[in-house]
Structure 1
């Protein structure tokens, strides 16, 4: 007889495979490259086969599956793929596949199936799509080696979180000293601008420095290609050979790449240096404005109540609005971590409110001492 623990495991496995299949289907629909879209469809087919395996196990145990709906997290990721393209999810999906590559190793039901090797294959393939695709697929996947979209979305969530948490702590700390609501509001707006400008300047300097470094590396790589093409062929051959190509095929592909200096620089920058020549570290002004806006969006939330309310009602509403914002941002991080939304949201809320309470207490003590 199937135990309750096994039934829970079967359901969890089934849901994981349903989520994976739905996500790969959505990525295929959003992918511009026909070849890469077909890869995602093939992955979805495998995930659906795995889901049927666990659905059959549940049916045999007298607990048939009632629905095949993707989870809330997966539906949100599907929306992101439709809005921003499949590439934005590659880092997140690759990380999930790596974490799950051994998920079936200790599950006896999968011993006589290909499911264990399938999971390892998926992790390897997504790693290749994320980090560089060798061999015959190189021409088809060229220009898609590294997709920073998942990191950009993560940075957006963290930027808004920084603004919200820092300004919530600031306004309740100042309010704790007993000053008027108008003073709290002005302080909050000043904190918003100061923090947003600081974040924007820091981001501009960081991206501009990175861009200058990338441009210098590309110049050096172009000089090396012109001066020692055979050495560059050998380096590229070793990279492809390390990824599983036979020695002769690896050399043939590397030599073909080096025949065109422009293509050679593009490929070597990606494969050897880990640089996307098209991006060159990004646009510093775009990064600065984005950072400014995201910080400001988070920072304005705890200030708004003081436009209409007195000091103490404003503190309560500001804390409530801040708590809600912290929960939403904490839950949003689960799109990248795969953790439970409720747990992550509550953790973010509790930690943020602890920080706000600490500054409120300090403000109250200082207000009493100065007053």
Structure 2
């Protein structure tokens, strides 16, 4: 009987998978839609509270303006944020590139130390670091990942972030408007649709968390409903004072 080590598995044949703990596309998409839903729902309820005798036109106008303004604001903010983060990461990667080119021995030792800190034998760690540094581009990727937490092959796209944020927010913000756009003048259908949307978004988020779907749904329904209710009361108070 031998104690030969088991062969390394083919990554494509490993029998289990883990969800993306960072949420992947789902988290920003759902939170963008949720942001649009909560903010526009609350805005429209504030207008409903303050313009009870003025018909639905102010409510629809406020909802459409809130959708457009919020979606463009989200897109611009997300583009600037992601672009700045990307530019910072690339600038730091270029600094690391120069360090690897000008001071290979020190960078090799630094990488070996990282491996040792993670439990690798020092001699083996030095051998691995040397082999990695035989290819400067590979060394750059490993240093960027280990030291900066940056994957140079998967830097976020500012354009994609802006477009996805725009549409996610717009979809959420459209939900409170739907009943008004088909001619229903009562606020109750908009309230019901919005609460259902809040529950659905909260339940969907639990796909990347450890919470149960009903807990996530109820939590978001309560928070979003409270925001809309408080804004309604504020609108009612302001409307009465201006009337």
Contact kept? 1:192, 1:299, Cα under 8 Å: yes
Q: Which of 345, 348, 354 matches 2:226? A: 354
TM-score in terms of structure 2 length: 0.91
Contact kept? 2:20, 2:208, Cα under 8 Å: no
Which runs of no fewer than 5 residues in structure 2 stay unpaired? 1-8
TM-score in terms of structure 1 length: 0.60
Inter-partner Cα distance in structure 2 for 1:272 and 1:351: 39
SS at match of 1:299: helix
Shift of 1:269: 0.9
Shift of 1:366: 2.0
Shift of 1:216: 0.6
User: Which residue pairs with 1:204 in the alignment?
Assistant: 79
Describe the superposition over 1:233-280 as per-residue Cα deviations: whole angstroms up to 9, x where unpaired.
Answer: 111111111222211111111000001111111111112211111123
Matched, 1:175 2:34: no
Inter-partner Cα distance in structure 1 for 2:188 and 2:183: 10
Mean alpha-carbon deviation: is it higher for 216-225 or for 332-341?
A: 332-341
Shift of 1:310: 4.8
Contact kept? 1:182, 1:307, Cα under 8 Å: no
RMSD of the TM alignment (CA)?
A: 1.6
User: Which residue pairs with 1:300 in the alignment?
Assistant: 174
Describe the superposition over 1:288-338 as per-residue Cα deviations: whole angstroms up to 9, x where unpaired.
Answer: 011001000000000111123454x1x101110000000011111211221
Inter-partner Cα distance in structure 2 for 1:308 and 1:289: 27
Matched, 1:90 2:65: no
Counting only pairs closer than 5 Å after superposition, residues 234-273 of structure 1 correspond to structure 2 as 234-273=109-148
User: Which residue pairs with 1:345 in the alignment?
Assistant: 217
Deviation >4 Å, runs of 4+? none
Shift of 1:194: 0.5
1 or 2 for the larger relative contact order (CA 8 Å, sep ≥6)? 2
Which runs of no fewer than 5 residues in structure 1 stay unpaired? 1-33, 45-85, 92-147
Describe the superposition over 1:323-370 as per-residue Cα deviations: whole angstroms up to 9, x where unpaired.
Answer: 000001111121122111112211211121111111111212222222
User: Which residue pairs with 1:225 in the alignment?
Assistant: 100
